Amino acid sequence: MKVEKISELTTSRLSVYLRCLEELSASGVRTISSEELARKFRLNSAQIRKDLAYFGEFGVRGVGYYVDDLREHLRRILGLDKEHKVCIIGAGRLGTALADYNGFKKSNFSVVALFDIDESKIGKSIGNVKIYNFADFHKIVRLEKIEIAVITVPAYAAQQVLDEVVRAGIKAVLNFAPVTLIADASVKVKTVDLTTSLESLSYFLNQPVNGRDE
């Protein structure tokens, strides 16, 4: 398997394929061609073949893909065959909402700690997740073997928090603060901009009605 750089858009597509395969598997489908997969989930079949070919030859001529095999391959490529421990920094509305997010509960990501600097929040819990003092960040990261940090602090505090996260040795960061953050190239910072989702809806509202059934 190649270990060259692949783009974030590619990994996002692999996530989408994985989601489709899980749905197919759950409904008992054993094999599927790239064309069927594309038609069923409104994807691009050439893109599917290209993306998957990059990681090796998964398709079988005349059969297509074995749904369960491909699903397991993708899980392994995405590193989803292991559990990943996650912490959330900022126990405000968004941080506590994410600690409680049901989608994560079904995944192999487990939120093990929330951090804040507000004394009135420290020591409380959201579900099973305790809110710690951010002053103890390094210690808890080490103890809990945390690999991923989610930043949900206000925009003005986000860069400072990220610097601390990097000093604690964390290499993967999901940032919800609406601001661009700067980190060393050895650290992956993914900023989630929730307005992007609204923008694709706005595009749709802008289309004539017959252009809508994509």
User: Interaction with a copy of itself in 82-141: which residues (CB under 8 A)?
Assistant: 84, 86, 92-94, 96-98, 100-104, 106-107, 109
CB nearer a copy of itself, residue 23 or residue 136 = 23
Q: 53 Cβ partners below 8 Å, 6+ apart?
A: none
> Can you tell me which of 29, 157, 183, 192 binds a copy of itself, judged by CB under 8 A?
192
Size of the site for a copy of itself (CB under 8 A): 76
Instruction: Tell me: does residue 27 bind a copy of itself (CB under 8 A).
Output: no
Instruction: List the interface residues with a copy of itself, window 45-74 (CB under 8 A).
Output: none
**List of E strands, the chain:** 31-32, 65-66, 84-89, 109-116, 125-126, 129-133, 148-151, 172-175, 188-191
Which residues make Cβ contacts (< 8 Å) with residue 77, sequence separation at least 6?
Answer: 1, 14, 55
End-to-end CA gap in the chain: 34
Q: Is 160 among the residues that bind a copy of itself (CB under 8 A)?
A: no
Do the strands 84-89 and 188-191 form a parallel or antiparallel pair, or are they unpaired? unpaired
Interface of this chain with a copy of itself, residues 2 to 21, rule: CB under 8 A: 3-9, 11-16, 18-19
Q: Candidates 27-35, 59-67, 136-144, 206-214: pick the segment binding a copy of itself (CB under 8 A).
A: 206-214
User: Whose Cβ is closer to a copy of itself: residue 42's or residue 61's?
Assistant: 42
- Give the integer Cα–Cα distance in Å for 27 and 167: 46
Tokens of 4: 């060259």
Q: Are 88 and 99 in contact (CB under 8 A)?
A: yes
For a copy of itself, which is the closer residue by CB, 60 or 204? Answer: 204
Using CB under 8 A, pick the residue from 25, 66, 68, 78 that binds a copy of itself: 78
The residues in 166-185 that bind a copy of itself, with binding defined as CB under 8 A, are: 171-174, 177-178, 180, 185
Q: Is 213 one of the binding residues for a copy of itself (CB under 8 A)?
A: yes
CB 165 within 8 A of CB 140: no
State in angstroms the smallest separation of the CB of 36 from a copy of itself: 17
